[in-house]
């Protein structure tokens, strides 16, 4: 793939809002970001959740040129697709996981962006501060050993100190794959898409727990959610 694109999975003809899902990746890799890699597959179950929260919106998967961060390639790709969106799209909500979480934060000051939900984001120490707009929510599992929830909290604290309200959510007993508590993550995506998520705060150390649903923690359920979405949905357009 020589250029970045958006694969649309939900595309109402009159949609003026786009919910864009940005998947994770690796620190360094120029390999193509293949459609069947686990990082992008993980985002598929969020498509029905986003559609349930915002039934009139288009929902798409971000497709980077490369699998790796490579010094910020996904940010350049994300900005490129945002710059060329059709004029009818007047609002974009970004939802990203891991490397995708880092990318949406870095590109979250784009004029079209009005909402950022970063799931287990990779926000290393010294990450440049970006003045984000719209609701800003960070959620991170306490058992994550791939990206550091403490670094996410530190970035949220810096944002709050700069005057940007942030909702910071702690997801108990969850790891980086976000599979153990899949229904709870789906509910968060749905509510964020609907505009009914957690209220962002300027309190430097405020953290909210992500509530447990009635479902028991079970990674198998999360895998089945992904498989169901992957088999029932198809790409209906590209931007």
Residue 218 maps to which CATH number? 3.40.50.1820
- Four-residue CA torsion sign, 127, 131, 132, 137: positive
Contacts of 136 (CB under 8 A, 6+ apart): 108, 115, 116, 159, 164, 165, 166, 167, 200
* Whether pTM exceeds 0.85: yes
Which residue do the tokens 């899949």 mark?
Answer: 182
Asked whether the CA dihedral 201, 204, 208, 209 is positive or negative, the reply is: positive
Under 8 Å between Cβ of 165 and 202: yes
Q: What is the pLDDT of residues 28-72, one digit of tens each?
A: 999 988 888 999 999 999 999 999 999 999 999 999 999 999 999
- Which range marks the domain in which residue 20 is found? 5-238
Query: pLDDT > 70: what percent of the chain?
Result: 99
Phi, psi (rounded to 5 degrees) for 74: -65, -30
- Tally of domains in the chain: 1
Alpha helices in the chain (DSSP H): 38-44, 46-53, 73-83, 99-106, 149-161, 182-194, 219-232
Q: What is the pLDDT of residues 171-224, one digit of tens each?
A: 999 999 999 999 999 999 999 999 988 989 999 999 999 998 877 678 999 999
């Amino acid at each position: 793939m020589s250029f970045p694109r958006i694969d649309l999975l939900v595309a109402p003809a009159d949609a003026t809002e786009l919910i864009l899902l940005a998947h994770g990746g690796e620190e360094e890799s120029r390999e193509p970001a293949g459609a069947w890699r686990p990082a992008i597959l993980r985002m598929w179950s969020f498509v029905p959740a986003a559609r349930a929260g915002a039934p009139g919106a288009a929902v798409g998967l971000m497709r980077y040129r490369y699998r790796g961060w490579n010094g910020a390639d996904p940010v350049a790709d994300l900005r490129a697709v945002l710059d060329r969106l059709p004029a009818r799209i007047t609002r974009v909500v970004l939802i990203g996981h891991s490397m995708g979480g880092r990318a949406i934060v870095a590109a979250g000051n784009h004029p079209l962006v009005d909402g950022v939900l970063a799931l287990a984001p990779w926000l290393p120490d010294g990450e440049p501060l970006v003045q984000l707009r719209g609701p800003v929510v960070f959620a991170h599992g306490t058992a994550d050993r791939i990206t550091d929830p403490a670094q996410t909290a530190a970035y949220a604290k810096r944002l709050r100190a700069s005057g940007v309200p942030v909702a910071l959510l702690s997801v108990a007993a969850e790891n980086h794959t976000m599979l153990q508590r899949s229904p709870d993550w789906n509910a968060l995506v749905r509510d964020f898409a609907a505009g009914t998520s957690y209220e962002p705060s300027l309190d430097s150390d405020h953290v909210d727990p992500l509530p447990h649903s009635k479902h028991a923690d079970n990674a198998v359920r999360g895998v089945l959610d992904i498989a169901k979405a992957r088999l029932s949905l198809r790409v209906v357009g590209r931007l």
